[in-house]
Amino acid sequence: MEIEEVRKNTKLMYQGKPWNVDNAEFVKPGKGRAIYRLRLKNLLDSSTLDITFHSGEKVDEASISNQEMQYLYKEGDHYVFMNTSNFDQTFVTETQMGDKINFLKEGVLVNVQLLEDRPIDISIPVFVELEVVETGTAIKTATVTAQNKSAKLETGYSLDVPAFIKEGDMLKIDTRTGAYVERLTKK
Amino acid sequence: MPAERERLARIKSNLKRRARIYDIVREFFRGRGFLEVETPIRVPCIAPELNISPLKSEDWYLAASPELHMKRLLAAGYKQIFQVSHCFRKGEHGRQHNPEFSLLEWYRADAGFMDVISDTEHLVCTLMQELHAGNILHYQGQEIALDLPWPRLSVKDVFLKIAGWDPMADYNAERFDYDMATLVLPALSPARPTVLVEYPAAAASLARLKTGDNSVAERAEVFIGTMELANAYSELTDAAEQRQRFMKESAQIEREQGQVIPLSEPFLEALSFLPECGGIALGMDRLVMLFCDAGNIDEVCAFTEENI
């Protein structure tokens, strides 16, 4: 593809490796030649690379496909997913998972982006429902503001929740911020 | 649709200010005896420029600037003219670019490039007064002092100091553009406007060369902080030299990009009647960005290519 067509989040092959364009800056003096400054993030190991292209240059677009997969379990520092159409299993590393591991419980369906057959990223829902497995009582303070306390969810993720939350409650969590949204059920 | 409603509601104050800026700009030029003109957007010929890709419209082009037609008016005796028009440049996307954008151009007969630079200084100061903004422009966390005159730096001096070479003595287009974008512009004072003056003759385009020094073009560019705002020329009035420059540029475009840009014969014919004059093109969207403290062109345009 032409460098002119590259946008933020375009996926590229560069030096034999797949990259996500995290940022694309177009610099052009009115009469001068355009320069494209890209911040690339390696889709396999998350390392970053800053690189400059000139107008007229070409880059290779990475061919990415999407596949629905089921998260099965964690094995060592890999996460095992199963392709729901052909039952093939594939592994995603801890680095690739990033903080999405906080919101993933066994058995859920997610969308996995594949570069050829290699998983490079997964998409999880914006909101997920997770159960509280452990929480204490709120620390009493003199303030009248809402009191928060810490709670641990079934995925092992800990977050701040309101004082009325109890073990066994199902909570709605915003996966973009990792924050508590609301309580769904009360046991 | 809700996202679009929310977006357009959010930039409404900018679009109102934009309309006010257009009013002030028109008052400014009318008050100085300029005639507002309109020239065609869809044209059979454009000025060949290696680094400006035109958009085609059937066999014609969408204007990348109104320059050629405005000079034909000057050649017919119109002495002071201005125009705000939509122009098109293929592939120009970014925080300060949209392929369709608004350009303000004005021309003064019996004048040169520094006269239209002086107009620019007074235009921006008039906007500051009319918008009750004082002498300090607040833009993206930076205070920019606009009091006159704005510092002038010669391209030669600034390149010697910052890039470490003299583009007048040993011009290299690729190196010049790259160093300009990556070294020189980021080093300009963020707290003042800068006028870069006297470009290398090889980067003259439609500007005439300095009398007595053929290595220098009478061309200047205005930067507010580090944002490029306007490009001025003492206009070339020598039809033979202009034809030669167009043919050289066209040949390079054909060689490198495989495109044949036809020469505008009516323009080249008119050029022999063109009086000595100064002309300038100023990016209106960027002017509005400065006065709306907008970091992205999409905050001052209702619709850009991203959300058209």
Helix or strand holding residue A72 (H, E)? strand A64-75
Contact B177/A at CB under 8 A:
yes
CB pair distance less than 8 Å for A27 and B228:
no
What pLDDT was estimated at residue A37? 92
Cβ atoms of residues B65 and B100 within 8 Å: no
Distances in Å between the alpha carbon of B160 and those of A97, B65, B155, B260?
A: 49, 32, 8, 37
pLDDT tens-place string over residues A71-125: 999 888 889 999 998 998 998 888 778 888 899 888 888 989 888 788 888 888 8
What pLDDT was estimated at residue A146? 61
Per-residue confidence at B196, pLDDT binned at 50, 70, 90? very high
Please tell me the distance from the alpha carbon of residue A78 to that of residue A101, in angstroms, as a whole number: 11
Question: For A3, which residue in chain B has the nearest alpha carbon?
Answer: B91
Q: Which chain A residues have any C-beta within 8 angstroms of a chain B C-beta?
A: 2, 4, 7, 25-35, 52, 54-56
Q: What are A173's two structure tokens? A: 């969590």
B162 DSSP 8-state letter: I
pLDDT tens-place string over residues B107-148: 999 999 999 999 999 999 999 999 987 889 999 999 999 999
Tell me the shortest Cα–Cα distance from A16 to chain B, in angstroms.
27
Query: CA geometry: angle at B261 spanning B86 and B88, to 5°?
Result: 15
CB pair distance less than 8 Å for A28 and B173:
no
- Average pLDDT over every residue of B156-173: 94
Cβ atoms of residues A120 and A96 within 8 Å: yes
ipTM over 0.85: no
Please tell me the distance from the alpha carbon of residue A107 to that of residue B38, in angstroms, as a whole number: 66
Cβ atoms of residues B66 and B105 within 8 Å: yes
Instruction: Give the mean pLDDT of chain A.
Output: 86
pLDDT tens-place string over residues A15-64: 988 899 999 999 988 788 899 999 999 988 889 999 999 888 899 998 88
Q: Is the pLDDT of residue A185 over 80?
A: no
Tell me the shortest Cα–Cα distance from B106 to chain A, in angstroms.
17
What pLDDT was estimated at residue B288? 98
Tell me the shortest Cα–Cα distance from A13 to chain B, in angstroms.
22
φ, ψ for residue A12 (rounded to 5)?
Answer: -120, 155
Contact B6/A at CB under 8 A:
no
Please tell me the distance from the alpha carbon of residue A122 to that of residue A155, in angstroms, as a whole number: 17
pLDDT tens-place string over residues A134-144: 987 655 555 55
- Residue B211: how many other CB atoms lie within 10 Å: 9
Per-residue confidence at B8, pLDDT binned at 50, 70, 90? very high
Contact B105/A at CB under 8 A:
no
Taking alpha carbons only, the member of A155, A135, A132 closest to residue A147 is A135
Please tell me the distance from the alpha carbon of residue A176 to that of residue B122, in angstroms, as a whole number: 48
- Average pLDDT over every residue of A171-187: 84
Question: For A4, which residue in chain B has the nearest alpha carbon?
Answer: B91
Q: Lowest-pLDDT range, A3-7, A77-81, A146-150?
A: A146-150
Please name every residue paired with B80 in a beta bridge, in sequence order, or none if there are none. Answer: B108
Q: Is the pLDDT of residue B287 over 90?
A: yes
A172 DSSP 8-state letter: E
Per-residue confidence at A145, pLDDT binned at 50, 70, 90? low
Cβ atoms of residues B106 and B119 within 8 Å: yes
CB pair distance less than 8 Å for A28 and B49:
no
Identify from B67, B177, B179 which residue to disrupt to test chain A contact, counting A C-beta atoms within 10 A and taking the largest count: B177
A57 DSSP 8-state letter: -
- Average pLDDT over every residue of B11-30: 98
Please name every residue paired with A177 in a beta bridge, in sequence order, or none if there are none. Answer: none
Contacts of B194 in chain A (CB under 8 A): none
Phi-psi region of A121 (alpha: psi -120 to 50; beta: other; left: phi over 0): beta
Q: Name residues whose C-beta falls within 8 Å of residue B16's C-beta, 6 or more positions apart in sequence.
A: none
Question: For A33, which residue in chain B has the nearest alpha carbon?
Answer: B51
Per-residue confidence at B246, pLDDT binned at 50, 70, 90? very high
What pLDDT was estimated at residue B277? 98
- Average pLDDT over every residue of B278-287: 98
Tell me the shortest Cα–Cα distance from A17 to chain B, in angstroms.
26
What pLDDT was estimated at residue B49? 94
Q: What are A146's two structure tokens? A: 């809402």
CA B53 from chain centre, in angstroms, equals: 15
What pLDDT was estimated at residue B90? 92
